[in-house]
Chains A and B, each alone.
Chain A
Amino acid sequence: MLYTAVAAGSFRRYATYRMATVAGVFTNTVFGFIVAYTYIALWDERPHLGGYDQAQAVTFVWTGQALLASVALLIGGVGELQERIRTGDIAVDLYRPADLQLWWLSADLGRAALQLLGRGVVPMAVGALFFPLALPADALTWACFLLSTTLAVVVSFALRYLVALACFWLLDGSGLAMISGLACMFFSGMVLPLRVFPGGFGELAQLLPWAAMLQVPADVLLGARTGGSLLRGLAFQAMWGVLLLAAGRLVQSAATRKVVVHGG
């Protein structure tokens, strides 16, 4: 299959950046400690904030650090794709007998898989070593977490792909990508779990696509979603995935119809 080869190639590509992976693991781990102690201080004052006990709160922190690179929680676009659109290299991609969105989705899944292994496992293990974490004991929950994380990557990609396609109309998409990245950092639950926010705002935040990127997979891992709630969570992710990918296809066909490839 072409697209599995694209994903595998992308996985190998990111595997060649060993120093970047090591540096990333270090950063994620250091931030994990900082945020974990902040949460501990907060949960000491307000136990059961958002319905989480302290172990669950700290687990949420380390899950966030583990998924940060893989689900691209701080990144608002698809940098390489934006660059290709900006320079006109996208023309080369359009000559291929392959679907642009599927191609980049496969590449992003390959990247996410490498970064989940390379930048996710170690920080989580370090976190488990130094803090009492609320990790599941059964394989099924882990499997559900993996499925949920995969869906999180799909939703994240679908949204970032839309942002990247905006470069067909904007000369430079980095501003938009930055705004989108900031929105993602907050609304994914990276700053604080979305359940902590009270009232209508909290409810709204949990309905937005960013909730599918961290809040849902973290809740699956913590055991805060089981049974019907677990299925609803996965369905919520799948719905946003399908919706955003479909939107991406619409924008893609508009973009390729109007394509004025920059740089001749």
Chain B
Amino acid sequence: MSGAAAAERLIEVDGVEKVFSVRRKAGRLRRVKDEVRAVDGISFRVPRGEMVGYIGPNGAGKSTTIKMLTGILVPSGGRLRVAGIDPARERTRLARRIGVVFGQRTTLWWDLPLKDSYELVRRMYRVPDTAYRANLERCVELLDLAPLLDVPVRQLSLGQRMRGDIAAALLHDPEVLYLDEPTIGLDVISKAKVREFLLEVNAERGTTVLLTTHDLTDIEQLCRRVMVIDHGRLVYDGGLAGLRAAGDGERTLVVDLERELPPIEGVPGARTVKVEGPRQWLAFPAARSAAPLVAAVAERYPLVDLSVREPDIEDVIAKLYAGGDSGPDSPGGA
């Protein structure tokens, strides 16, 4: 069984690879085997109770990583442990301790009322009666499921079904919850509800959450730590704030002057990128403090108002993805 040290690091991934061989037509009859390195030597650790965002463009290797972490794909190389268990060797034992939610697939029974699916989950995971009732009650309350329990799943809207799926993944008190695009296709209110619930679960039960998504608002609102994967390699692993710096992100100082003036000059570390009447935009490196800049501007210009804008996280990540082609090694480090 897992010792105390292993419990600290609930997920351990060391140099894990997954190589698919794909047969390709080359001429009339000849077929050539191509190697696709879906995951190309990634390493990271996730301590118990952390909520980590795992992002990357389509085909970067996110789902492949999750499939290996749950044991349905066997890694081609490297070492993998979840709660001290080797997923590929003991898939069923691990399955009792993890929960998985796919935004685009459902684990619920299509033609039967929602509560029938939960009853099945109870038996499948052998959840003790008291725990089951308490968990179900909690989920029903927080996810507003009460009016849906008797409705056949096929009649649920996407947002309702998603809430139903998330509840189903939590009834057996999993230690780790993998969420694969849990807010895909949901409207703003459903997204907010799902996020709120995930925060609660994480805070209350200390459930470790690994979340893949294309919706960066998910990341910004849920995760303090982000891992970015591209072409099967981790190109970033660290805090959200650091991510902005890593992508050569620039912050913008927006100043309102008393009157229209020529572009501001001579402020060290900043350059004026836009002038519109009395308002001017100055770009400066995200890692630098805005205070000396503000002082420098205020000293020489009639300053009326100002604001600092953070770099758009989407731009930052787009830059990271683009940079991933030349293959820089993980700048954050684990």
Bound state CA distance, A264 and B110, in angstroms?
22
Indicate which residue in A5, A13, A16, A260 contacts B123 across the interface (CB closer than 8 Å): A5
- The closest CB in chain B to the CB of A13 belongs to B111
Residues of A close to B102: CB separation below 8 A: 91-92
- Cβ of A50 < 8 Å from any Cβ of B? no
- A17 CB contacts on chain B under 8 angstroms: 111
Beta-carbon contacts under 8 Å, B95-110 to A = 95-96, 98, 100, 102, 105-107, 109-110
| Identity of the chain A residue whose Cβ is nearest the Cβ of B154 in the assembled complex | A16
Q: Is the CB of B72 within 8 A of A5?
A: no
Is A88 part of the binding interface, using a Cβ–Cβ cutoff of 8 Å? yes
Give 11 A-B pairs besides A13-B112, A91-B67 with Cβ atoms closer than 8 angstroms. Answer: A2-B120, A5-B123, A13-B111, A89-B106, A91-B102, A92-B100, A95-B98, A95-B100, A95-B107, A97-B95, A98-B92
**B116 adjacent to A12 (CB under 8 Å):** yes
B20→A95 contact, CB < 8 A: no
**Is A256 in contact with B111, judged by CB distance below 8 angstroms?**
no
Which applies to chain B's interface (DSSP): helix, strand, loop or mixed? mixed
Contact A256 B124 (CB under 8 A): no
Give the docked Cα–Cα distance between A12 and B112 (Å): 8
Q: How far is the CA of A264 from the CA of B72 in the complex (A)?
A: 13
Cβ B20 vs Cβ A2 within 8 A: no
* Pairwise interchain contact A92-B105, C-beta atoms closer than 8 A: yes
Q: Is A92 touching B107 in the complex (CB atoms < 8 A)?
A: yes
* CB closest chain-A residue, reference B95: A97
B102 CB, nearest partner CB in chain A, Å: 7
- Chain B: CB-nearest residue to A107: B109
Q: What is the size, in residues, of chain B's interface with A at 8 Å between Cβ atoms?
A: 31
The reply to whether A96 and B105 form a contact with Cβ atoms under 8 Å apart is: no
Check B111 against A16 for contact (C-beta < 8 Å): yes
| Contact residues in B for A96 (Cβ distance below 8 Å) | 95, 107, 124
A260 to B59, CA, bound (A): 14
List chain A residues, Cβ under 8 A from B67.
Answer: 91, 261
**Bound-state Cα–Cα, A1 to B126, Å:** 9
Chain B residues near A12 (CB-CB < 8 A): 112, 116
CA distance A91 to B102 in the complex (A): 10
Which residues of A are at the interface with B, using a C-beta cutoff of 8 A?
1-2, 5-6, 9, 12-13, 16-17, 88-89, 91-92, 94-98, 256-257, 259-261, 264
| Cα(A117)–Cα(B280), bound, Å | 79
Interface CB pairs A-B, < 8 A, 29 = A5-B119, A5-B120, A5-B123, A9-B109, A9-B120, A13-B109, A13-B110, A13-B112, A16-B112, A88-B105, A89-B105, A91-B67, A91-B102, A91-B105, A92-B105, A92-B106, A95-B95, A95-B98, A95-B100, A95-B107, A96-B124, A97-B96, A97-B124, A98-B124, A256-B72, A257-B74, A259-B73, A260-B20, A264-B59
Tell whether, in the assembled complex, residue B152 and residue A95 are in contact, meaning their CB atoms are under 8 Å apart: no
Neighbouring B residues of A98 by C-beta, 8 Å? 92, 124
A residues less than 8 Å from B123 (CB atoms):
1-2, 5
Query: Residue B135 at the A interface, CB < 8 A?
Result: no
Residue from B20, B59, B63 whose CB has the most chain A CB atoms within 10 Å: B63
| Residue of B93, B105, B112 ringed by the most chain A CB atoms within 10 A | B105
A257 to B95 Cα, complex, angstroms: 17
Please tell me if the beta carbons of B105 and A95 are within 8 angstroms of each other in the complex.
Answer: no
Contact of B213 with A by CB under 8 A: no
Contact present for A97 and B125 (CB under 8 Å): yes
Chain A residues positioned under 8 Å from B207 (CB to CB)? none
B149 → chain A closest CB, angstroms: 15
Determine if B95 and A91 form an interchain contact, defined as CB atoms under 8 angstroms apart. Answer: no
Which residues of A lie under 8 Å from residue B72 when comparing CB positions? 91, 94-95, 256, 259, 261
B70 lies within 8 A of chain A by Cβ: yes
* Residues from chain A with Cβ under 8 Å of B124 in the complex: 2, 96-98
**Contact string, B52-76, partner A, CB cutoff 8 A, digits 1/0?**
0000001100010001001011100
CB A230 to nearest CB in B, in angstroms, measures 37
Interfacial chain B residues near A5, Cβ < 8 Å: 119-120, 123
| Contacts A92-B102, A92-B107, A97-B92; A9 near B112 (Cβ below 8 A) | yes
